[in-house]
A and B are shown apart, each in its own frame.
Chain A
Amino acid sequence: MQLSHEHVRKVAALARLKVTDAEVESLLGDLTAILDYVGVLNDVDTTGVQPMVHAVELHDVLRQDTVAASLPRPEALDNAPRSDGEYFLVPTIIEG
């Protein structure tokens, strides 16, 4: 797998990660080496093999829809970088 600087920047944008030029350079080298290594999986014939997403077979669990206490608002807001006591505060999303 041949990765380019462009490619690394695109993945960083998808991951919402700000990366410096130096980081792009080192990520390019590391990811190229790792993707090269995982290429070994191409040696395995997986025709007809179902993907295994989980180690235990999961099934739906039903329960009564009962009212229960939830986290009080002050506690939910306690760890927020910015809040006004009622809401989480973020920069303006829609101008106007």
Chain B
Amino acid sequence: MLSPIASLSLSTLIEKLQSAELRSVDLTTAFMDSIADHDARLGAFVHLDRDVALQQAADVDAKRDAGESQGPLAGIPVAVKDVLCMKGQPATCASRMLKGFVPPYDATVIAKLKQAGAVVIGRTNMDEFAMGSSGENSAFHPTRNPWDTERIPGGSSSGSAVAVAARMAPLSLGSDTGGSIRQPAGLCGIVGMKPTYGRVSRYGLIAYASSLDQVGPFATDVTGAALLLEAIAGHDPLDSTSVNKPVPEYSKTVDHPLAGLKIGVPVEHFAEGLAPDVEKAVRAALEVYKSLGAELKEVHLPHSKYAVATYYLIATSEASSNLARYDGVHYGHRAEKFDSLGEMYEASRGEGFGDEVKRRIMLGVFALSAGYADKYYTKALQVRRLIRGDFDSAFREVDVIAGPVTPTAAFKLGEKTSDPLSMYLSDIYTISANLAGLPGMSIPCGFTAEGLPIGLQLQAAPFEEERLFRAARMYERETDWHTRLPPMAH
């Protein structure tokens, strides 16, 4: 059973905290209890520290009692993906390689959460080193979809999506390199956003593919996602790729509808491979926009059919370089048996990494190796520019692009684990936003006949998050998909 507190909307929770009708300690306890009730079946969390969470909550309550000013998320529990460093808490990336690793510093987003008064409630499960689309690549245990526990929740931010979908946390943070926030948000029926590359600091985000990785919010509604992004976004001198632009107050404008909204409908995202029930729900969502006065316009993204191939060369090349740091010397797993330094590296890495991580390192090393780098890596970088060019042309004509998040609803556990390529193709509609560096979000837009959630993806030009939130909210206020609870949370 879901506690009455855990089922309240985020804005109601904030109101009740601000009016002192509810204390953060009680709120945090309610969500910790919800985790205790559900997580044995769902596997969304890999590390919980009840005492630390309750202490943060008690600190917020004490500040409120003393009449001190409070941050925008004061007393609100937030779950964080196990890829973000937090001082004194384990950070494993769901890998044997980082078992026992305890970072000596806070990621910038964690520092910002603390400044905003949020209570970090636990660390969430994921595909190892953020490599995967189903949550099944966790070295610890898979995460299950609360709408049907025989099915995957999506990945790689599997635990963060499920924590919010099953109301075990009102908000969570994930990271998105090729769809790892939007795809699980879509498959779990919640809101998830990947911000523009450079909008959120990557300092303390354990790197997978540095030119594509971005941290972003999960929430049950658009306003929650806007509030959380507002708290974590902004320039950071500790991340040389973070962009120095002011952060708009997304949560203040989210309820303002956009007049004369022009929505691009990419022909290539409604082609072969899209499940009929997903297409039907997404087209129905477009009709809702039309009824609100938006103009629908066909757009073309001719290079989108190359996005998956481009991504798997670039992301793996960057990963092979980023993951070279795991050598068993400074931190992480070290093998016990070896005869030389070289063997120590090889054995430690062979034992510490799981199959998918090894596969991607191998692909990346190959794509960068002498004799192949031009044919594979450089070629992919050239196609990347053409993919970005497609979006630039489209955004000269439309304000946002709308389409499906995924080709199908959630698939069954084990269905795609033996065929890496078919797993990669589940990111087909989300991957190009990372290559181009654009913001994208997933919002709930219906259910299949089997009762599985379907997501609508909205994308905009760089740094147009405000427009995305407003466009998303226009649809959300006309529908009630985001208020539905998965069967197990009733």
Partners in one complex: yes
CB of A93 within 8 A of chain B? yes
Q: Chain A: interface residue count, which band? A: 35 or more
CB of A67 within 8 A of chain B? no
Contact (A91, B338) CB under 8 Å given A11-B362, A58-B241, A80-B329: yes
**Within the complex, which residue of A18, A50, A76, A88 is in contact with B104, where a contact is CB–CB below 8 Å?**
A76
How many Å lie between the Cα of A33 and that of B243 in the bound state? 38
Establish whether residues A15 and B361, one from each chain, have CB atoms under 8 Å apart when the complex forms.
Answer: yes
Q: Is the interface of A mostly helix, strand, loop or mixed?
A: loop
**Within the complex, which residue of B240, B329, B334, B344 is in contact with A61, where a contact is CB–CB below 8 Å?**
B240
Q: Chain B: interface residue count, which band? A: 35 or more
Q: Which residues of A contact B435 (CB under 8 A)?
A: 55
Return A58 CB to nearest CB of chain B, in Å. Answer: 7
**Across the two chains, which residue of chain A brings its CB closest to B311?**
A38
How many Å lie between the Cα of A38 and that of B344 in the bound state? 33
How many Å lie between the Cα of A19 and that of B357 in the bound state? 13
Q: Which residues of B contact A55 (CB under 8 A)?
A: 197-198, 211-212, 388, 435-437, 462
Establish whether residues A46 and B383, one from each chain, have CB atoms under 8 Å apart when the complex forms.
Answer: yes
**Within the complex, which residue of A52, A79, A80 is in contact with B382, where a contact is CB–CB below 8 Å?**
A52
Contact (A41, B211) CB under 8 Å given A61-B240, A91-B344: no
Establish whether residues B345 and A16, one from each chain, have CB atoms under 8 Å apart when the complex forms.
Answer: yes
**Across the two chains, which residue of chain B brings its CB closest to A91?**
B341
**Across the two chains, which residue of chain B brings its CB closest to A42?**
B379
How many Å lie between the Cα of A38 and that of B311 in the bound state? 10
Q: Which residues of B contact A42 (CB under 8 A)?
A: 379
Establish whether residues B340 and A15, one from each chain, have CB atoms under 8 Å apart when the complex forms.
Answer: no
Contact stretch, chosen from B26-34, B260-268, B302-310: B302-310
Return B275 CB to nearest CB of chain A, in Å. Answer: 21
Return A44 CB to nearest CB of chain B, in Å. Answer: 5
How many Å lie between the Cα of A39 and that of B386 in the bound state? 17
Establish whether residues B378 and A82, one from each chain, have CB atoms under 8 Å apart when the complex forms.
Answer: no
Q: Which residues of A contact B341 (CB under 8 A)?
A: 90-93
How many Å lie between the Cα of A11 and that of B376 in the bound state? 15
Establish whether residues B334 and A81, one from each chain, have CB atoms under 8 Å apart when the complex forms.
Answer: yes
Establish whether residues A16 and B327, one from each chain, have CB atoms under 8 Å apart when the complex forms.
Answer: yes
Establish whether residues A34 and B306, one from each chain, have CB atoms under 8 Å apart when the complex forms.
Answer: no
Complex interface bits, A20-44 against B, C-beta within 8 A gives 1, otherwise 0: 0001001100110111011011101
**Across the two chains, which residue of chain A brings its CB closest to B368?**
A14
**Within the complex, which residue of A30, A35, A49, A78 is in contact with B420, where a contact is CB–CB below 8 Å?**
A30
Return A39 CB to nearest CB of chain B, in Å. Answer: 8
Establish whether residues A53 and B362, one from each chain, have CB atoms under 8 Å apart when the complex forms.
Answer: no
Complex interface bits, B341-380 against A, C-beta within 8 A gives 1, otherwise 0: 1111111011101010011011101100100000010111
Contact (A81, B328) CB under 8 Å given A30-B420, A38-B312: yes
**Across the two chains, which residue of chain B brings its CB closest to A81?**
B334
Establish whether residues B363 and A49, one from each chain, have CB atoms under 8 Å apart when the complex forms.
Answer: no
CB of A96 within 8 A of chain B? no
Establish whether residues A71 and B105, one from each chain, have CB atoms under 8 Å apart when the complex forms.
Answer: yes
Contact (A80, B211) CB under 8 Å given A15-B320, A17-B353: no
Establish whether residues B369 and A14, one from each chain, have CB atoms under 8 Å apart when the complex forms.
Answer: yes
Contact (A44, B104) CB under 8 Å given A15-B361, A16-B345, A17-B358: no
Q: A16-B346, A34-B312 are in contact. List 12 more A-B contacts (CB 8 A).
A: A14-B369, A15-B365, A16-B345, A18-B347, A18-B349, A27-B359, A51-B385, A52-B388, A56-B462, A79-B331, A80-B330, A91-B341
Nearest 10 interchain pairs by C-beta: A55-B437, A18-B350, A51-B381, A81-B334, A79-B331, A46-B382, A52-B385, A18-B346, A38-B309, A55-B197
26 contacts between A and B (CB under 8 A): A11-B365, A15-B362, A17-B350, A17-B353, A23-B355, A27-B358, A27-B362, A31-B359, A33-B420, A38-B309, A38-B313, A41-B310, A44-B303, A49-B386, A54-B241, A55-B437, A56-B197, A56-B198, A79-B101, A79-B102, A79-B332, A81-B328, A81-B332, A88-B330, A91-B341, A91-B344
Chain B residues at the A interface, C-beta cutoff of 8 Å: 100-102, 104-105, 197-198, 211-212, 237, 240-241, 243, 303, 305-306, 308-310, 312-313, 320, 324, 327-334, 338, 340-347, 349-351, 353, 355, 358-359, 361-363, 365-366, 369, 376, 378-386, 388, 420-421, 424, 435-437, 462
